[in-house]
Amino acid sequence: MSSILTNTSAMSALQTLRTINNDMETTQGRISSGMRVGAASDNAAYWSIATTMRSDNAALSAVQDALGLGAAKVDTAYAGVEAAIDVVKEIKAKLVTATEQGVDKLKVQEEVKQLQDQLRSIGSGASFNGENWLDGSATNATVVTGFVRGNDGTVKVTTATYDATTNALFGNYDPDTGTVEDGGILEDVLGITLDGNEDAAAMAAHLDTVETALTEMATAGSTLGSLSKRVSLQEDFAAKLSTAIDKGIGRLVDADMNEESTRLKALQTQQQLAIQSLSIANSNSQNILSLFR
């Protein structure tokens, strides 16, 4: 039945056109934003997961910055230990020289004193951002090593600790003068003084003191080296993990641009056909009116 009051064909064509326009709006939004899930209304589950993972990735980025800071502190301490070991080796060499007959031990003492002063300079200078792990002033030498989200949803930041008290090379740091004196692994080395009257036993005792310090310094250096390696590995892992999280988020919410562009072309064709269909449906009423002319 044809009616000029209710044009069912036009109504159907209009509804089809509205649906196509809505689909085009959605597709154009995906193309312009590059995202298939841009809001919770698009896909609540995926949106929630992506939001949480973006938050974790931001925290992971902060951890990477903290790892860089930790690496700098560890490297500074390690450089100080290495430099101190080199100086103590020089002191050892001077003491060996002083054991030879006919050597002026007082002249050797002058050289040893200069080397001891150099050790103090190393102790006061091995500082990064005001934190020194060698002079005995650090009470909580820690570095951030990671960010972990547990299966129960809880999050925590993991850290590694360096025993800066046991491994301190120096002690009694004076903040006013910026120097270190006695205490620490090098306490006895810094206290060695030759008065020119030392016998073979006294010189052997001095050498034993230096050798003990070198052994303990090697242990401290080894600990710092291991910590440095751990931080380096964690930096690499954090970078790879961040990339993996980005990819995972992309798989959940990113739009397939090839697919969306193809869909847009199809919808544009459908839109043109729907407009023509609506135009034809609207012309039916005009055709009925022409019968009464």
Burial of 162 (0-12, 13-18, 19+ CB in 10 A): buried
Domain match, 105 and 216 both: yes
Residue 73 lies in a domain: yes
pLDDT attached to residue 72: 93
195 and 264 in one domain? no
d(CA 233, CA 239): 10
Residue 115 lies in a domain: yes
Shared domain check, 276 and 137 = no
Q: How confident is the model over 182-199, as pLDDT tens digits?
A: 678 998 999 899 998 889
For the chain, the straight-line distance linking the first and the last C-alpha, in angstroms and rounded, comes to 20
CATH number of the domain at 94, please: 1.20.1330.10
* Co-location of 240 and 281 in the same domain: no
Do 131 and 198 have their domain in common?
A: yes
Q: Are residues 247 and 273 in the same domain?
A: no
Residues 144 and 196 reside in one and the same domain: yes
Q: Are residues 139 and 284 in the same domain?
A: no
Q: Name the domain count of the chain.
A: 2
Q: In terms of residue numbers, what domain contains 149? A: 42-254
Examine the domain organization and report whether 239 and 94 are in the same domain: yes
Alpha carbons within 13 angstroms on the beta-carbon side of residue 105 total: 18
Helices (H), the chain: 8-33, 44-98, 105-125, 187-191, 200-253, 257-290
Instruction: Indicate if 277 and 222 belong to the same structural domain.
Output: no
- Residue 121 pLDDT > 70: yes
Predicted local confidence at residue 76, as pLDDT? 95
- 271-286 residue pLDDT tens: 888 788 778 777 766 6
- Whether 178 and 292 map to the same domain: the answer is no
Residue 287 is predicted with a pLDDT of 63
Report H helices in 6-104. 8-33, 44-98
